[in-house]
Amino acid sequence: MPRSKRDPSRRVGWSRLKAPYRRRLEAKGISRSAWENGVDLRAARGHTPAPPRGAAPKEIVERVVSGEGEPADLRDLGRWNETMRPRWIPAGMTDDVAAALSQLPPPKMWSDVVFYPASGGEPWRMVVNMKGNAYPVEILIPGGGAVGTGAREVLDLLTDPKLSGADMRYWKTWTTSRGEDPFDVMGST
């Protein structure tokens, strides 16, 4: 019987890490189980990746998506969406959804997408696994479950980018590689 390969996202050997390094990880909120499950260590190591080119200001996006945004934040996102939105994001998307998506690299770099829905209009987690050995990128998108919410806009975009008004130069690899199953929504059937 052939040996099965170890899950590459899993790490082993927490006890073999030097004590100061373990303490540094724990001080940054990374537990043993998170480390073993392959959590992104870049921020804990002081190497937080820069946002993608043209991304909306992360602080404003976080406030708006979490429901704590001020009217000035919404105006800023509206100006950003009209003037600086990356071309892979369709022009018709609402400002908060477009700003959240701008925190991601272009879809040609994506391998697959997993959504973790929340109830009561709370933000959904969107985890984009990248091609190659790159760490997954996780963002929050405006939530909900009813038609017209931010999550619905993103699900529609991933299902058929052309119908969402997307420039297909940026989405061609996504549509050809994903076929009938463009994403997973955890907890659904």
Tokens representing residue 154 in the block: 């993103």
What pTM was estimated for this model as a whole? 0.76
Instruction: Give a yes or no: residue 151 inside a domain.
Output: yes
So what's the pLDDT on residue 147? 42
Q: Same domain for 93 and 145?
A: yes
Residue 53 lies in a domain: no
Per-residue pLDDT of the chain (189 residues; tens, 9 = 90+): 333 344 445 788 899 999 999 998 999 888 998 888 878 787 778 777 788 899 999 999 999 998 898 999 999 999 999 999 999 999 989 999 999 999 999 998 898 899 988 888 889 999 998 888 778 888 999 986 444 478 889 988 988 888 888 888 888 777 666 656 667 787 765
Q: Is the same domain home to 114 and 166? A: yes
- Number of domains forming the structure of the chain: 2
CA distance 110 to 106: 7
Q: Which domain holds residue 40?
A: 10-46
Both tokens assigned to 170: 């940026």
